[in-house]
Chains A and B, each alone.
Chain A
Amino acid sequence: DSGVTQTPKHLITATGQRVTLRCSPRSGDLSVYWYQQSLDQGLQFLIQYYNGEERAKGNILERFSAQQFPDLHSELNLSSLELGDSALYFCASSVEDGTEAFFGQGTRLTVV
């Protein structure tokens, strides 16, 4: 158990809908990362937060947004969902910027 909690574990939704993925980092970790892993693909960096502030952005679509709350949990919002958004979404946390990140079990999103 990495200590990072992601909910829900599975999500099935229809095209055009909006979903929110939630992540609770390890106790004491200030940095939260979001990654997307499509079928047989690598890990695509989406966005990073550090102590509530956006720190880095990757190839995150405009339909996607995220935030980190004062209690350090983070949410990833995906809207106007398309079939191609079906993927495993991982959250990870680290104690400091750029140090080893520990991953949650992921949320498997299926858009039908």
Chain B
Amino acid sequence: AQKVTQAQTEISVVEKEDVTLDCVYETRDTTYYLFWYKQPPSGELVFLIRRNSFDEQNEISGRYSWNFQKSTSSFNFTITASQVVDSAVYFCALSEARSSASKIIFGSGTRLSIRP
């Protein structure tokens, strides 16, 4: 069965610090997708990134970077030089691409607070 664990419930850092959000997943499928979503205080869920299981290249987008490691079943998210606007709940998610029912399962989320 698929499972996503975000062990960090809450993180609080001072603005401009770097912060890494951890995500560990479990799946029996060899082909799967991993995602990160952001939920700011306004409540909407914003898609950030998708990673395919066969593509272990790390990704950088501005101050955001993602480290995917199949060997440790992890898909971590780093924010460099954090800003107050980064304050949100961040969710990691997983779907099993070859399953006949490819539901997207979310971790419990990490609440990130950036202090000015």
Question: A and B, one complex?
Answer: yes
Q: Given A42-B91, A88-B43, A105-B44, are A58 and B103 neighbors across the interface (CB < 8 Å)?
A: yes
B106 within 8 A of A: yes
A100: B residues at CB distance < 8 A: 33, 35, 47, 50
Total interface residues in chain A, CB < 8 Å: 23
Q: A33 and B104: CB pair below 8 A?
A: yes
B43: A residues at CB distance < 8 A: 88, 105-106
Q: B35 and A45: CB pair below 8 A?
A: no
Total interface residues in chain B, CB < 8 Å: 24
Q: B104 and A101: CB pair below 8 A?
A: yes
Q: A48 and B33: CB pair below 8 A?
A: no
7 A-B pairs closest in CB distance: A98-B102, A56-B101, A98-B95, A103-B45, A97-B102, A56-B103, A42-B108
A residues with a Cβ closer than 8 A to B are 2, 33, 35, 41-43, 45, 48, 55-56, 58, 88, 90, 92, 97-103, 105-106
B residues with a Cβ closer than 8 A to A are 33, 35, 37, 43-47, 50, 91, 95-97, 99-109
